[in-house]
Chain A
Amino acid sequence: MGTAAPPVDPVIPTARRRRFRVFGRNPVVGFIVRRVTAGLATLVVASFLIFAAVQVLPGDVASIVLGRNATPSRVAALQADLHLNRPLIPRYLVWLGNTATGHFGDSSAALAQGSKVSVWQIIHTPLRNSLVLAVITILIFVPLCLALGVAAALRAGRRTDHAISLTALSLGALPEFLVGTLLIVIFFTQLKLLPPISPITPGETPFTHPNALVLPVLTLLCASVAFGSRLVRASTIEVLREDYVAMARLNGYPERRVILRYALRNALAPSVQVCAQMVQYLIGGIIITESVFNYPGIGTAVVQAVSIRDTQETAVIAVILAAIYILVNIVADVVVVLLVPKLRTQV
């Protein structure tokens, strides 16, 4: 009876304390470290799936790549070149090591024809071209989304709102190749204003033919602005119901100031997520949009690689895209945590 119970700290759970000790005092740093670790783990699993999908499933890559030129000796030679005669796991580990250190290997389609062309040589210009397309799209996307979303939110339930929302819903429902094709019909076949394809030769940059950028960017904007503006509309409507907006109005501030300084700022935090989703959407949307306009970017490259069964190139592009996807996700989560102090205590 006389023994006192050992002192316990009832407030902070032990798991929480341990986490602080491992990652230092700052919870944000701990959050970033955990998020990046999880991202890397996801990427490794994803890379294995990619490798398995393009190399293991078909059974005999060599004869498929060689196609009609397949003779037993050539198949054997290509199998040796691609290390196909070794078991899967060691092959994957070698490939993973090479890819992680920037050695993307040689194009398997070129190997099949007896030449050696490195994958990096094939994809570095398309990567740059796609980046140009994506950056231009995002630069237009952000202000357009905010303007349309706020305009719809301010007139919620009225005719402008219905018009914007219904148009957004309809445009957002269309696949990119459809939007692209219809734009070609309107601006090339009917109006003869803009070129239907991008005539960029290997030595040129996309800026040599600014005209050819218009339709691809418009196509990408259609679907993305549709869903982006709807999200901005929803978060603005929510913020407009808050007490501090009513307070600002009661203080007699001009409506312009109420919107810009009180409502919009707070509605912006979810917009970071919108931007992240936008970048992720772009990665998928760019694949098909580039094919529609024959734009020499990474999307056209991957579709071509798939159709000629260039497994090495397909895998490398897929890993790069997956890495960008995961990175954008992490950056968005971290930015949101930095922007909204409330979340820091929960991370």
Chain B
Amino acid sequence: MRHRTFRIPAFAQTTSGATGLALAVLILAVALLGPLFAPHSIATPIGPPGQPPSAAAPLGTDFLGRDVLSRVLHGGFSVVWIGTVATTLAYAAGSAVGLIAGYTRNLIDPILMRAVDVLLAFPALLVLLLLVSGLGPHIPVLILGVVLVQLPGIARLIRTATLETSTRGYVEAAVARGESMMSVLGRDIAPNIAPVMLADFGIRFGYSIILVASMNYLGLGLAPPTADWGLMISENRSVIGLNIWSVVAPAIMLALLTIAVNLIADAYVRTSGRSFTPRGRARILRQTDG
């Protein structure tokens, strides 16, 4: 019997890819498992506000005298889950629209393109601000905002990829066999544009995290006393002179997470050698293809 060997993916063999992967694993472990190891409660004060690190509180206390270490260990969970849910929802909706528009090339196509134009007329953060202004600062509103910001770009990317793939021989063969549209899309097209989607997902995941963290920082996202890295950075600014770690610790965690995600996505795009649009944040800031 042949043994299936595990192959290290190409992106992890580059320096930046390996660094990114190691960082991401570390930060995700802290974000997901951290709450289990937190020595103190996140809501009750353990000493005077803004105390520098001591034996009882290795990272000192925050502006209300709560343990910074415990709050850092708790604060990654919301960052990761909101980012994941929002990006996944945006991808589900965006790839459905993109696949159908690219494959059928019917009315949906021009409508999609005009909708993208309109949504691209807003800075991303402004979309979120407008929604919060209308609906109030709640988590579902933040998720909706991120989905709205990401959806047009995703739909456009998937549409371009689908257009290219649907002229291939195996797709024509499937159509000739008389397979239904859903079957062609799901079994022939989607698997073949998966690498593109994966690379793009990484970049967008990083961007979703930034958007949500920015809203939390502005005080228009999660409400206190939730522990969240973005929120912690803004609420502890008043004690930055007393206990610098109350701001720097969550800042470092958030920075490492976004850097790791970008390093992985960048290495993945470079090694997979398939890209329909220019790389990086520029693309998300303003989608220009076609």
User: A residues engaging B (CB < 8 A)?
Assistant: 38, 42-43, 45-46, 49-50, 53-58, 166, 169-170, 172-178, 181-182, 184-185, 189, 223, 226-227, 230-231, 234, 273-274, 276-277, 280-281, 283-284, 287-288, 291-292, 302-303, 305-307, 309, 311, 314, 318, 321-322, 325-326, 329
- Please, could you name 7 A-B residue pairs with CB atoms under 8 Å apart, sorted by A? A42-B121, A57-B134, A177-B233, A178-B233, A189-B244, A284-B285, A287-B129
Point out the residues of chain B lying under 8 angstroms from A45, CB to CB: 118
Flag if A227 contacts B280 (CB, 8 Å): yes
Query: A177-B217, A288-B218 known; 20 other A-B pairs, CB under 8 Å?
Result: A45-B118, A49-B118, A169-B16, A173-B258, A174-B258, A175-B213, A175-B217, A178-B233, A185-B248, A284-B123, A284-B124, A287-B126, A288-B214, A306-B132, A314-B129, A314-B130, A314-B133, A321-B122, A321-B126, A322-B126
Whether B40 is near chain A, meaning CB under 8 Å from some CB there, is no
CA A318 to CA B130, docked complex, whole Å: 8
Flag if A283 contacts B206 (CB, 8 Å): no
Point out the residues of chain A lying under 8 angstroms from B125, CB to CB: 284, 287-288
CA A175 to CA B230, docked complex, whole Å: 10
Flag if A46 contacts B121 (CB, 8 Å): yes
Point out the residues of chain B lying under 8 angstroms from A307, CB to CB: 219-220
Flag if A172 contacts B281 (CB, 8 Å): yes
Flag if B121 contacts A175 (CB, 8 Å): no
CA A166 to CA B263, docked complex, whole Å: 9
Interface 1/0s, chain B 51-91, versus A by CB < 8 A?
00000000000000000000000000000000000000000
Flag if A58 contacts B218 (CB, 8 Å): no
Whether B157 is near chain A, meaning CB under 8 Å from some CB there, is no
Whether B262 is near chain A, meaning CB under 8 Å from some CB there, is yes
Checking B118, B220, B247 against A185 with a beta-carbon cut-off of 8 angstroms, the contacting residue is B247
Whether B41 is near chain A, meaning CB under 8 Å from some CB there, is no
Closest chain A residue to B262 by CB distance?
Answer: A173
CB distance from B18 to the nearest CB of A (A): 13
Checking B123, B217, B241, B262 against A325 with a beta-carbon cut-off of 8 angstroms, the contacting residue is B123
CB distance from A66 to the nearest CB of B (A): 15
Flag if A57 contacts B135 (CB, 8 Å): yes
Residue of A57, A226, A231 most packed against chain B (CB within 10 A): A57
CB distance from B160 to the nearest CB of A (A): 18
Checking B123, B129, B244, B251 against A306 with a beta-carbon cut-off of 8 angstroms, the contacting residue is B129
Point out the residues of chain B lying under 8 angstroms from A42, CB to CB: 117-118, 121
Binding site secondary structure of chain B: helix
Flag if A326 contacts B123 (CB, 8 Å): no
Interface 1/0s, chain B 212-245, versus A by CB < 8 A?
0110011110000000001001100100110010
CA A46 to CA B127, docked complex, whole Å: 11
CB distance from A294 to the nearest CB of B (A): 10
Binding site secondary structure of chain A: helix
Interface 1/0s, chain B 188-214, versus A by CB < 8 A?
000000000000000000100010011
Flag if B219 contacts A177 (CB, 8 Å): no
Whether B255 is near chain A, meaning CB under 8 Å from some CB there, is yes
Point out the residues of chain B lying under 8 angstroms from A184, CB to CB: 237, 240
Checking B219, B255, B278 against A178 with a beta-carbon cut-off of 8 angstroms, the contacting residue is B255
CA A229 to CA B91, docked complex, whole Å: 29
CA A277 to CA B135, docked complex, whole Å: 30
Closest chain B residue to A190 by CB distance?
Answer: B244
Considering only residues 156-213 of chain B, those with a C-beta below 8 Å from chain A are: 206, 210, 213
Point out the residues of chain A lying under 8 angstroms from B130, CB to CB: 50, 53-54, 306, 314, 318
Known pairs A181-B247, A307-B220; A321 contacts B123 (CB<8 A): yes
Point out the residues of chain A lying under 8 angstroms from B255, CB to CB: 173-174, 178, 182
Flag if A280 contacts B282 (CB, 8 Å): no
Whether B286 is near chain A, meaning CB under 8 Å from some CB there, is yes
Flag if B133 contacts A311 (CB, 8 Å): yes
Point out the residues of chain B lying under 8 angstroms from A55, CB to CB: 134
CB distance from A209 to the nearest CB of B (A): 20
CA A188 to CA B254, docked complex, whole Å: 21
Checking B126, B135, B241, B244 against A318 with a beta-carbon cut-off of 8 angstroms, the contacting residue is B126
Closest chain A residue to B209 by CB distance?
Answer: A175
CA A329 to CA B118, docked complex, whole Å: 12
Interface pairs A-B: 8 shortest CB-CB? A284-B123, A57-B134, A173-B262, A175-B210, A53-B130, A306-B133, A173-B258, A177-B217
CA A227 to CA B203, docked complex, whole Å: 14
CA A303 to CA B221, docked complex, whole Å: 12
Flag if A325 contacts B121 (CB, 8 Å): yes
Flag if B258 contacts A54 (CB, 8 Å): no
Point out the residues of chain B lying under 8 angstroms from A231, CB to CB: 278, 282
